[in-house]
Amino acid sequence: MCRKAAEKEKKMNGDLKKILWIITIIYVLSPIDLFPGPIDDILVLIVNYYLTRNGNRIAE
């Protein structure tokens, strides 16, 4: 039973990563910005990359 729970959690982590990347792409392409220019877009991309890259290490 523990293996099934681990597989389900891994799948949910993968789905969450996909959702975060989709939200990031929508934010970067949208005309609504917090700061003028590409500053906030770059920050959002860096933070999203860091969160999705290190997500498995935090869960362990």
pTM exceeds 0.85, yes or no? no
Look at residue 35 and tell me if it is in a domain. Answer: yes
Is there a domain that residue 52 lies in? yes
The answer to whether residue 48 sits within a structural domain is yes
In a domain, residue 24? The reply is: yes
Give per-residue pLDDT as tens, 39-52. 888 898 999 888 88
Domain that holds residue 33: 12-59
The total of structural domains in the chain comes to 1
Identify whether 6 is part of a domain: no
pLDDT in tens, 6-29: 666 666 677 888 898 999 899 888
Distance between CA atoms of residues 18 and 12, nearest Å: 10
* Residue 4 within a domain: no
Closest CA relative to residue 24, chosen from 10, 2, 6, 43:
43
Structural domain contains residue 47: yes
